Structure 1
Amino acid sequence: MPREIRESRHRSVRYALLAVGWLSVALGVIGIFLPVLPTTPFLLLAAACFVRSSRRFYLWLVMHPHLGPWIRDYLDGQGIPRKAKVYALSLMWASIAFSCYLVPMFWARTFMLTSAVLVSIYILRQKTLPNP
């Protein structure tokens, strides 16, 4: 967790971040039940939005008994569970492969594959939490 929570000074920015944060929380919760929707990235996005818009909602999310563990270890720099890494990489590569099949444009395929490689490298370089 960041040591200092700095809310934006602009009211319109705070409201926009709150809206994106709550949408991300909703998508993250839906992702718990739908295998094609990732949970952790949405919850991390929500935490990032809340840290700049509402201290109360940020602390609520990070300390939540069911949602907090999905992001707390990552925010504390402890790593990502092996199961989450495998799940994220598998779904990402499956969706990229399907997208490349559907999109015939070379530049779009190149962009998608480059993005997938970079995200894969990022995920693989994160610490792996031991199994509980």
Structure 2
Amino acid sequence: MSVDLDAALTVPRTAERPRDDGRALVGSRCGRCGAVSFPARAVCHACATAGPAQEVFAPTGVLITCTTVHVARPGLQAPYTLGQVVLDDAGPMVFGQVRAPDGGVRAGMPVRVVIAAPGETPRYWFVPQDEPASHRFGR
């Protein structure tokens, strides 16, 4: 298979690509095979097509699996919960912190993304869909 990767050279570097639009996560979707990625890629991971299109993903999804971490790290007090979320509308699987009141996190629950204020850590996290956007559990 012959792949022209010159188009990948015109894609901004990873650190320069947006990861969110203030309301939802931003990644890429391949125009050839439809594969999705977060964060955005310069070359499709599935078919090696250069320059997948930037796409804003659905701000909601389903928590597939999760685990509670009991070791603190910079910017995160332990314990905290991490999980894998499949975003709605054929979005990618995304890894991130999951926050819920009283630790009410369970696989299969519908969640939505919360985008942090600039400079805040982590940059995004997930909360149950029925929780108000203003909640910042686990801070």
Q: TM-score range by the shorter chain?
A: under 0.3
Greater relative CO, 1 or 2 (CA 8 Å, sep 6+): 1
What TM-score do the two structures reach when normalised by structure 2? Answer: 0.23
What TM-score do the two structures reach when normalised by structure 1? Answer: 0.24
Q: Which has the higher helix share?
A: 1
Q: Which has the higher strand share?
A: 2
